[in-house]
Structure 1
């Protein structure tokens, strides 16, 4: 096969709404990755941290990518998905010339698909994808574009160093070897969730953190917790709950363990008087509010005449309730870039944030309900797909995201 037939750059494959939804998932669930200055979110990690419902936004795009790869490379019905993950490359991240199957434990990989979720020049600088030979010789990441290529030495490639910001991709690898089928492993994890539901066990939508070291970005003697950094990067501060207040001299408590306990969120000197189960719970709501702030403000204006609309209860002063955490804020901003902006600071309101809490709960419940409908089909067929019997899902608008799941792909 000639080099030019081993790769294809497809423009506008994903809708921008889907790109934003996957970005939301990564910024709320991501952990320290496999390379320096890289963060990742895998589907198995979502399942393991009580976020299995967040796998649903991946389902349609995985199917569509598999169809596109099989069609382009002439291997219809031969492939299995070996790995699905959200990967962000931050300032300082890069990789030299390599092929995606260049290790003995990676030889099962036959094809790769890299979906760009944000754009070069707008969201980050650097991070250009380059091939050693053939055409195209380089690909400038643009949100919605997809690059597919063979994983062997016909497509040796590199990624330039990211100079600023966070370069975000959805990366999927495909294999002909069924022993490396990602779906089988995921279905085993998800079937337990369905079993718990049938037994009547209660379910919380709040995420459960993994071990603290998975969130710790180390840089010599300094570092930061990615959960803490992403919350603070959007202008919020983390405070203790009403019932758990610790002094800075309380050495019996590991500061990072406080992020796994109930917290409250503050902005300026005001504390939002609601407890979040843990920092990941708070982070999901903060990121949801950031993503949908303009819509939340518009919804708030529509509710201004509603007599039942109430102002959120705030505590006037932080008064020493802020948690003292080992987080190098300057390093975090250097690595992750700055997400908050003056316009958002001016337009932010606690009323909109309170509405974000409700909309987040509605979104999570909708995903969980749909997941329960799909799991029996996945278990029966031993593959993850949008079951034909659940076409009604395409008519449901996920609260907070405008498009139905299937329509988020540009066909």
Structure 2
């Protein structure tokens, strides 16, 4: 791909380059896949009104296979940074993460190496996964000096810059929706390379995978407090919020009515999210039992990611141009089965939606949803198989990289 500056002139021979905007660096489909990962795995972030998904978190929650979409992107970004900044030294990825800035989030003037514990950072890459004005309001990146002086986020674009005081910058407050980015920091110090830490996590959680394993890709929720989003003396569980703004709710996995009296006095209702449950929508409860709330959330987010493809399949099936075998599903009435979870749904709606929500009026077809559940299993299993194949090569080289298929021994 040819990378050209969109708004900044090429540096002269007497000045060092400090930043570059690369339009269309990521494809729309890649942006959607990373959005799926974040909205099905994210936890409360490192600062107020922020949700984040780090690679170690994915590995630690049984989702190590979801690292695979990041691998080629990390390599391409490192190549872009090394090329533009003429790096004649080894460059390591210090951090890779998905971050969404929600209503009220902002940050004042700073450089990315402005703390003693951040001095190792040499370069920054920020990939925008959704667009200002379409998916959210606010959140403009402003630089104190130089050109481009500001960046209006467009899905697929990336801005790379030095992490030092030549790029003091700020981000305006997000006023509606979610500003979603993939952010990487690069370092010259191998002691801060994130790959060895990731490989340690992956070797502990993914090494034992065998093709015969059933459902080895089922996610395992982290501690409940990691999903609690606090805002102005109130809050909500991110897992509940993500399904609720898309019109779903969590329900008991058995036929017993799950009113507040059925929860033991000493049991935190939020703990029910780590146990088997069902999904409901309106007066319907989907028959499939999910292992936990994170499992259900991933299927819901996968369904919305693939909704256009599923609708197209149904359209073709309707006109008889192809045959699609839809799995058998069961839907029952929801009377009394919704879990008594203490979540502020009104606040969640304010933070996560409806602004920028794809297809807010989307009409659910349960048959399509069941097909999406099967497609999610196939997608997850295929990534898990690839991870099992690649991991020995990564461990032997102590780095995570795109493995050439010709190098894989059968």
Q: Is the 8 A contact 1:115 1:144 kept in 2?
A: yes
Q: Is the 8 A contact 2:145 2:168 kept in 1?
A: yes
- Compute the displacement of 1:297 (Å): 2.3
Post-superposition Cα deviations, 1:35-84, rounded to whole Å, max 9, x if no partner, equal 11001000000000000000000000000000110111111451000000
| Corresponding residue for residue 74 of structure 1 | 86
Post-superposition Cα deviations, 1:330-389, rounded to whole Å, max 9, x if no partner, equal 111111122797966453210000100000001001111111111111111111111123
1:122 aligns with 2:134: yes
Q: Is the 8 A contact 2:239 2:294 kept in 1?
A: yes
1:325 aligns with 2:318: no
Distance change (3 Å), C-alpha of 1:234 and 1:224: same
- Compute the displacement of 1:204 (Å): 1.8
- Compute the displacement of 1:247 (Å): 3.1
| Corresponding residue for residue 389 of structure 1 | 405
CA RMSD of aligned residues (A): 2.3
Distance change (3 Å), C-alpha of 1:4 and 1:177: closer
1:240 aligns with 2:252: yes
SS in 1 for 2:132: coil
| Corresponding residue for residue 329 of structure 2 | 312
Match of 1:40 among 44, 52, 64: 52
Distance change (3 Å), C-alpha of 1:310 and 1:380: closer
Gaps of 5+ in 1: 393-411
Question: For structure 1, which segment, 165-174 or 194-203, has the greater mean C-alpha deviation from structure 2 after superposition?
Answer: 194-203
User: Number of paired residues?
Assistant: 391
Higher fraction of helix: 1
Post-superposition Cα deviations, 1:198-234, rounded to whole Å, max 9, x if no partner, equal 6987652111000001000112442100000000010
- Compute the displacement of 1:298 (Å): 2.4
Match of 1:89 among 95, 98, 101: 101
- Compute the displacement of 1:4 (Å): 6.8
Distance change (3 Å), C-alpha of 1:38 and 1:123: same
Distance change (3 Å), C-alpha of 1:348 and 1:87: same
- Compute the displacement of 1:16 (Å): 0.8
Question: For structure 1, which segment, 201-210 or 177-186, has the greater mean C-alpha deviation from structure 2 after superposition?
Answer: 201-210
2: CA distance, partners of 1:195 / 1:237: 34
1: CA distance, partners of 2:206 / 2:338: 39
2: CA distance, partners of 1:341 / 1:45: 25
1:364 aligns with 2:376: no
Q: Is the 8 A contact 1:165 1:337 kept in 2?
A: yes
Question: For structure 1, which segment, 198-207 or 177-186, has the greater mean C-alpha deviation from structure 2 after superposition?
Answer: 198-207
2: CA distance, partners of 1:51 / 1:117: 21
Provide TM-score, normalisation by structure 2.
0.90
Q: Is the 8 A contact 2:177 2:356 kept in 1?
A: no
1:60 aligns with 2:72: yes
| Corresponding residue for residue 373 of structure 1 | 389
| Corresponding residue for residue 397 of structure 1 | none
1:298 aligns with 2:305: no
1: CA distance, partners of 2:278 / 2:210: 33
Distance change (3 Å), C-alpha of 1:211 and 1:147: same
Match of 1:162 among 174, 185, 189: 174
Question: For structure 1, which segment, 120-129 or 343-352, has the greater mean C-alpha deviation from structure 2 after superposition?
Answer: 343-352
Distance change (3 Å), C-alpha of 1:144 and 1:343: closer
1: CA distance, partners of 2:52 / 2:362: 32
